[in-house]
Amino acid sequence: MWIRLILGMMLLTMGIFLSGCNGARESEEVAYIVAIGIDKAEQEGMIKVTYQIAKPNVEGNKGEGEKDTVLISNSAVTIAESLNLLNSTTSLVPSMSHVKVLVVGQELAREGLANMWGSLKRYREYRGSMFVLVAKGTARNFLEANKPSFNISASKYFETMLDSGVEAGYYLRVSFHQFYIRLKSNSAESYATFVDISDLTGKGEIATPKVAGSKVDGYTAGGIPLQGGNPIQFAGTAIFNGDKMVGTLSTTETRMMAMLLGNFNNGFLSMEDPLVPKKFVNVNLRLGSAPKIKVALEEGRPVIDIKIRLEGEITNLPSGINYEQESYLRLLEEQVNQVCHEEMANMIHHTQELKSDVIGFGYYVRTEFTNYQDFLQYSWCEEYSQAKINITIDTKIRRTGLMIRTYPVK
Partner 1 sequence: MGKSMISNLITGIKDVLVYQPPDQPTPFVLNETATEKAEIDGEFFPPAAVAEGIRELEFMINYAKKLDAFMKKSSKDLRSKEKHEIVKKIKAEFEMIQTEWKEIKKYTQKNHSIDGMYNNTVISADISENQSMLESIYQLPVNKDVVIRSITISDQPKIKALVVFMDGLIDKKIINMTLLEPLMFMKNIQEHVQGEDFISFVMEECLPSGQASRIGSFKEVQQAINTGDAVVFFDGSGEAVAVETKGYEHRSIGNPTTEQSVRGSQNAFTEVLRVNTALIRTMLHASDLVTEMIPIGARGHSNCAVMYIKSIANEELVEEVKRRVNSISTDIITDSGVLEHFIEDFPKNPFPQTLSTERPDRVAIHLSEGRVAIFIDGSPFGHILPVSFFTLMHSSDDFSLNLYYTNMLRLVRWFGALLSLLLPGLYLAISTFHQEAIPTELLLSIAAARAQVPFPTIVEILFMEFSFELIREGGLRIPGILGSTIGIVGALILGQTAVTAKIVSPIMVIVIALTGLASYSIPDYRLASAFRLSRFVFVLLAMSMGLIGVACGFLVFIAMLCSLKSFGMPYLVPLAPRTVNGGDTIFRSSAYHQKRRSDALNTKDEIRQKDTSRTWITDSSKGGNDHE
Binding site for partner 1 (CB under 8 A): 15-17, 19-21, 23-28, 30, 32, 34, 54, 56-59, 95, 97-98, 100, 127, 153, 155-156, 159
Give the CB-side neighbour count of residue 128, counting CA atoms within 13 A.
Answer: 9
Cβ atoms within 10 A of the Cβ of 154, count?
Answer: 23
Q: In this complex, which beta carbon is closest to partner 1, that of residue 27 or of residue 371?
A: 27
Q: In this complex, which beta carbon is closest to partner 1, that of residue 58 or of residue 402?
A: 58
Q: In this complex, which beta carbon is closest to partner 1, that of residue 98 or of residue 309?
A: 98
CB of 54 to partner 1, least distance (A): 5
CB of 67 to partner 1, least distance (A): 14
**CA 336, CA 282: separation in Å to the nearest integer?**
10
Q: In this complex, which beta carbon is closest to partner 1, that of residue 7 or of residue 212?
A: 7
53 forms beta bridges with 33, 70
CB of 19 to partner 1, least distance (A): 5
CB of 95 to partner 1, least distance (A): 7
CB of 246 to partner 1, least distance (A): 33
Q: In this complex, which beta carbon is closest to partner 1, that of residue 32 or of residue 384?
A: 32
**CA 136, CA 235: separation in Å to the nearest integer?**
11
CB of 36 to partner 1, least distance (A): 14
Q: In this complex, which beta carbon is closest to partner 1, that of residue 31 or of residue 359?
A: 31
Task: Give residues with Cβ within 8 angstroms of 172, minimum separation 6.
Answer: 165, 191, 193, 237, 254, 257, 258, 261, 263
CB of 56 to partner 1, least distance (A): 4
**CA 407, CA 405: separation in Å to the nearest integer?**
7
Q: In this complex, which beta carbon is closest to partner 1, that of residue 126 or of residue 361?
A: 126
